[in-house]
Amino acid sequence: MKALVLLLLIACGLLHADPLQPQGPKCVCVEGVSYEGHDLKSLPVNDEGACCGLCTTTPGCKMGVMAEGKHGQMICRLTGSKAHLQKVSGAKSCYWDRTGGHSPKPKLAPRPKPKPLPKPRPSDPLPKEFPPVSTQNPAASGYTPTARSGEAVPRYNLMCFDDKRKPLSTNHWWVPAVLGPNAAGKNYITTLPYVVNCEKYGLELAYPWIMSQKKIVQNIVNRHWSISPGHGERYCVRLADEVTFTVTWGGTMESTIVRGSPYITATFHKAPGATVGTAQGLRTLFIDEDEIPAPTTVGAEYTPKRKITAVLRDSDESWVIYLPPSTPVTIKASPSSFGIGFHEGFSGVVRLAMINNCTTGLDGVSPHCPAKDTPNEETDPYISDYATAIDEGSNVCTEKAVVTMEKAPGGTLVQYHYKDYRCWPSLPDGLLTMVALPHHLAVTPCEGQTRVILSGGHRNLRGLSLALQLAGHTWPLLYPDYSIDWIGIPDKSKIPTILWALKGRNESSDEHYDIRYDMKDGMIDPYNAGKLFAKLGRLVLISDQLGEVEIRDKLLGRLRTYISRWYDHTTKNLLIYDKSWGGIISCGCRYIWISQPEKPEPHGYPICANNGSHLECPTFQDPNFDFGNAYYNDHHFHYGYFIYSSAVIAKFDPAWAEQYNEKVLALIRDIANPSPKDPYFTTFRYFDFFVGHSWALGIYSDPNGKGQESTSEAVNAWYGIHLYGKATNQPLLALVGETLVQMEVHSTNYYWHVPSNMDIYPREFKHTIVGIVHDLIIEFQTYFGSAGFFVHGIQLLPITPVVHLMFHPFWVQWGYPRFHEYCSNDPFCTESGFVTFMIAEQAMIDKEGAWEAALKLPDHVFSLECAGGNGNSLTNTLYFISAWGNERREKWLSDEPLCSNWEFGSDTTDTAALRDATNPAVAGDHPVALNTDPRARRGGWLWLVLLPALALAAAAAVYTHRGGDLPALAASALAWRPGRPDEAASLASQGPLYGTGE
C-alpha cells in the first residue's frame, strides 16, 4: 500500500520523484575576505546565517562582513555596492546564494488531453448569515464598559465600513491594514501567494521568496509593484469578511484583496494619473501575444487588446497585467524600472498576476529556479498550464465572500462562497481560479467539479500551492468527523492506579487539589487562572467517570465557586468590556507582597495595588501585561480555559448554567462569535478560515505579521465551545466548536507538525516541529524560551482527549525522539513540568513506557511553581495515557489516497463505480449546492478524506444539501433551556447554509 501511495503522489506531481533534487538558497561565507569603504550599519548577530539574512533584507546591502565586537559578541557589518574587496586574514564575508533555489515540480509523464472547461455560470446569491448566539449587551452581564485611550484607540481614519460596524476586527489576517506603523515601517498583509501593503498613495504588491536556516524559514519581501491612482489621498477599509477585504483611496481607486487569489485587482474611477510599475528592469515585453522591443525611459504608447506580459530582469519573474479591452497606455522602461501609465481620468479594472517565478534561469537572480541557469520549463514541461489557467480566470472578479459550515454524514462541510462579477462586461466570463494550499487539497473533493493545475504554482511558507479552478463560485472542503469526547474510557486494568493518584496518596492525592488563596480572589491573570480552573475541571470529569461522586462534587464545588467570582466580577482582576474595539479584556492586577516578618507564615499578604472597580487597569498602558490581553493577544487561549471549565460545570449543574449562560456566552462571542448581526463582537476574532488555523497576535503591529504559538491551546478553546454547546443544548455552539477543532487540527499537522515526507518547509529547516508560525516567518522557538522541549511541549498544552487528534503516530515516531532528547539533556525540562508533555506524546506510540515514566514523576512537576505542569495533575496524566495511549483514529494519514487528480467531468475516487450511473455529476452544479429532497439521496456520502501531513490528495463524494428554516434555528439558539433534549444532531437537517454573512 505504501508503494502505491508514493506512486500516486508522484503521479499527481505532489511528491518529488527525484530524491537528489537541488537544495534551497543558502548562506555562503568566504574566509579571508573583507569589504571596505561603504558601510551601511553594524548589528549584533548569533551566527553567519543571521548576517546573511540581515544583508538580504537591508536595501543596498552587497555583503555582510563578520567581526568580533568589543565584548566578544559577533557583529555583522553590512556593506553597500561601493565597498571594495580586501584580503584580510581572519575576516569572513557572507552573502545569500540564491542560485540553488529549488522548484519542487518534477517532470511529468505524457498526459491525456485536458477535458473541456465547463460553461461558466453567474455567481449565486450569497447564503444567509448565522443567527447570533446572543445579542445581549455585555454590560448587562456585569462587564463594565470602557473606552480606550492612547495607542490602543482604533485608527478610525483607516476604517470607513459601509455597514457602519461598531465591533472591530483585531486579529483577522487583514487587520495590519488598519494598525499603526511597526518597526519595519510596513504593515504587510499576506494574501497568499502575495504580500501587500497599503500606503496613502496606493497599493504595494510583492511576491516573496523563501530564506531558510536551521531554526527559521522566512518570507523575504524586497521587490515591489506599486499601483497608484496618481494622488496622495489616504486610504481606508470599507468592506471586510473572513476571506476578503476592500480598500479605497478617496474614490479614485479601490482594491478587493481576496485571500488565496492569484490576482491583485485594482478598480480605478476617474483616476488623475493611474500607474502600475516596479523598480525592476525589464527583460522581455509582450503586448497581447506579440513580443516587442523594450520601450525607452521616455516611453511609448500602446493599445493592448487584453493584456501586457512583462518578464522582469531583477527577479526573472513573468507578470501579466490585464487591462480593459483596447485601453491606450504609455509604457516606460529603464535598467532599474518598468511602468505603465494610463491617461488622465482613466476608469476601469486592472489586474496583476505572476505566472512564472523562474522564466529564463539567467543571471542567478531567481531563488525559485530548479537549479543554476535552469528555467522552470526545463523541469516542468507543462508550466504554461498555469498561465493558461490564469488567463481562463482573469475575467472573474470577487466583490465579497461568505464562509459557511454545516454537519453532513461523514464530516463537516466548510465552504467559501464568492460573490463574483465580470471584471470587464464586454468580455466572456471565465472560471473562478484560486490558489490551493497543501491542507486544502487534502479536503477538496475530486469528483469532477474542480481542476487542480499540477504545473506552476507558488512556493511560500505554506509549501507548494497550486492553481485550483472551480466550476461554480463555491469552494467546498469536507473535514472528516472525529470522536470528540469529554474524557474517554480508561483501561480497566489501570483504574486502580488512577484511583490511587486521585485519592490514595494522603495529602498528595489530587482530590485535595485547591487553588491558592490569593488566586481564588483573582490576584492572577486570566490565562493562568484558566489553566488552574481547567485542571479542576478534568479532575471533576475523571472522578465522575470512575464513579467517585463525592470527590466529583467536592471538586465541582470548588471550581464553581472560583470561576463564579470572575463571572460575578468580584475578583481583584476584573474582566471588562472594551467599547472601542468590541471585546472582553482584563483590567490586570499589579501584584504587591506586603511583608510582615513578625507574623506567622507566609509572613505577609498580597494586594493588588490598582483598583479595578475604578478602571485603574495596568493592562491599558502595558501591551505585555496579562500576556497582552487588553491588546487582544491570546484571548482564545485565556478564555478557552474558562469556557471549557464552564462546560464541565454545566454538564453537572444545569441551574448554574442557566444562571451564568450569558456571562459565558460573552467570552464565547469574544473569541468565536459566528454572526455579523451581533452588535457587540466581531465575527470569529481569532480564526482564519483560509489557512485553517487561528492567529493569536492582536492589535500590536508586528513586522512579521500575525502569529500564533500554541495550536493545542487554540484547539482547547474550540473544544470548550463544542462541549459547552453540548452541555447546554445549544447546537450552533456545538457546531462552531467542532468545526474549528477539525480545521485547526488539520492545519496543525501541516504547518506546526512538520510532515517528514512532504516539503512544506525547505530542507535547511532541521526540526520536526514549529514553535511559532507568523505570516512572514516560522521559528523553532517560543516567546518564553528557545529550549527544544519548550517548543515541543507548548504544542501539547493542555493534556485533554482532543490532543490525540493532533498527533499522528507516524509523526510521533519522528518527533518524539527529538522531544525526549531535548528533555533528557536538560534537567529544567523536569523542573519546569514540561516533562509531562513529553510523556503524553510518548503515550501515543508507547503506552506502557509512558505509564511507567508517569509513575516515576516527582510530585513537584504538578505544583503551582512549575509553569509546564501546574495545569495538569498525576491523575489526569495517568488517565490520558490509559484512555488515549496508542490510540488509532479510523482515518489516518496512512489511508490510501483516493484522488489521483482533480479534473472537470472526471470522478477519480475509488468509490465512483458504486454510484448510480443515471446520476452523473454536472459541471457547474456542484452537488453541495443542490437543494434536493433528502429522500432522493442514493448511498449518502462516500467520502474518505486523506488526513493531514502525508500527502496532498483528497477523496470525493456525492452529497446534497437539505433545505430548512433559518428562524427555527435562530429560535433554538436563543431560546435554550437546561434539560431540553440535545438538539445537536438536528442541525444537519436545519439548512439552508449558514455563514458569516455578507
**DSSP letters for 490-554:** --GGGHHHHHHHHHSSGGGSGGG----HHHHTT-S-HHHHHHHHHHHHHHHHHHHHTT-HHHHHH
Phi then psi dihedrals of residue 968, to 5 deg: -65, -40
Ranges 182-191, 281-290, 633-642, 966-975, most confident: 633-642
Superfamily of domain 160-397: Golgi alpha-mannosidase II; domain 4 (2.70.98.30)
Report how far residue 107's alpha carbon sits from residue 380's, in angstroms, rounded to the nearest whole number. Answer: 5
425 Cβ neighbours under 8 A, 6+ residues apart: none
pLDDT of residue 8: 35
How many H-runs (helices) and E-runs (strands) does the chain carry?
21, 42
Read off the pLDDT of residues 367-404 as tens digits, 9 standing for 90 and up: 889 888 899 988 888 899 999 999 999 999 999 999 99
Read off the pLDDT of residues 593-626 as tens digits, 9 standing for 90 and up: 998 888 888 888 899 999 999 999 999 999 999 9
Residue boundaries of the structural domains of the chain: 26-97, 160-397, 398-482+892-995
* Portion of the chain with pLDDT greater than 90, in percent: 67
Determine how many CB atoms are found less than 10 A away from the CB of residue 546. Answer: 19
Higher pLDDT, 808 or 127: 127
pLDDT of residue 930: 29
- Region 826-840: mean pLDDT is 96
Confidence of residue 55 (pLDDT cuts 50, 70, 90): confident
CA angle 15, 20, 26 (to 5 degrees): 100
Report whether pLDDT(872) > 80.
yes
Confidence of residue 183 (pLDDT cuts 50, 70, 90): confident
* Portion of the chain with pLDDT greater than 70, in percent: 85
pLDDT of residue 380: 87
Phi then psi dihedrals of residue 3, to 5 deg: -60, -40
pLDDT of residue 121: 83
Q: Are the beta carbons of 152 and 701 closer than 8 angstroms?
A: no
- Region 825-848: mean pLDDT is 95
pLDDT of residue 899: 62
Phi then psi dihedrals of residue 52, to 5 deg: -60, -45
The cell numbers describing 845, all together, are: 506510540
Report whether pLDDT(106) > 60.
no
Confidence of residue 991 (pLDDT cuts 50, 70, 90): very low
Confidence of residue 935 (pLDDT cuts 50, 70, 90): very low
Length of the chain, in residues: 998
Q: What is the dihedral of CA 138, 139, 143, 146, to 10 degrees?
A: 110
pLDDT of residue 790: 96
pLDDT of residue 45: 81
Report whether pLDDT(897) > 60.
no
pLDDT of residue 448: 80
Higher pLDDT, 70 or 966: 70
Read off the pLDDT of residues 208-263 as tens digits, 9 standing for 90 and up: 999 998 999 999 998 999 999 998 789 999 999 999 999 999 999 999 999 999 99
Buried b / exposed e along 431-462 (16+ C-beta atoms within 10 A): bbbbbbbbbbbbbbbbbbbbbbbbbbbbbbbb
pLDDT of residue 909: 61
Determine how many CB atoms are found less than 10 A away from the CB of residue 45. Answer: 19
Phi then psi dihedrals of residue 453, to 5 deg: -85, 110
Q: Are the beta carbons of 587 and 576 closer than 8 angstroms?
A: yes
Fold matches, 26-97 and 160-397? no
Report whether pLDDT(789) > 80.
yes
pLDDT of residue 62: 82
* 26-97: CATH, from 3.30.1330.40, 3.30.70.20, 3.10.129.10, 3.50.4.10: 3.50.4.10
Name the least confident of 542-551, 583-592, 974-983. Answer: 974-983
**pTM (two decimals):** 0.84
Higher pLDDT, 559 or 992: 559
Report whether pLDDT(271) > 80.
yes
Report whether pLDDT(998) > 70.
no
As to burial, measured by CB atoms within 10 angstroms (0-12 exposed, 13-18 middle, 19+ buried), residue 522 is: buried
| Rg of the chain in Å (alpha carbons) | 29
Read off the pLDDT of residues 675-731 as tens digits, 9 standing for 90 and up: 999 999 999 999 999 999 999 999 989 999 999 999 999 999 999 999 999 999 999
Confidence of residue 903 (pLDDT cuts 50, 70, 90): confident
**Which contiguous run of DSSP H or E holds residue 458?**
strand 450-460
Read off the pLDDT of residues 325-373 as tens digits, 9 standing for 90 and up: 999 999 999 888 999 999 999 999 999 999 999 999 988 888 889 888 8
Q: What do you get for the CA distance between the two ends of the chain, in Å?
A: 45
33 Cβ neighbours under 8 A, 6+ residues apart: 85, 86, 87, 88, 91, 92, 93
pLDDT, the chain, mean: 85
Read off the pLDDT of residues 442-457 as tens digits, 9 standing for 90 and up: 888 887 889 999 899 9
Higher pLDDT, 846 or 4: 846
Name the least confident of 202-216, 572-586, 893-907. Answer: 893-907
Name the least confident of 414-423, 597-606, 658-667. Answer: 597-606
Report whether pLDDT(526) > 70.
yes
- Judged by DSSP in three states, 883 sits in helix
Peptide bond preceding 131 in cis form (omega within 30 of 0): no
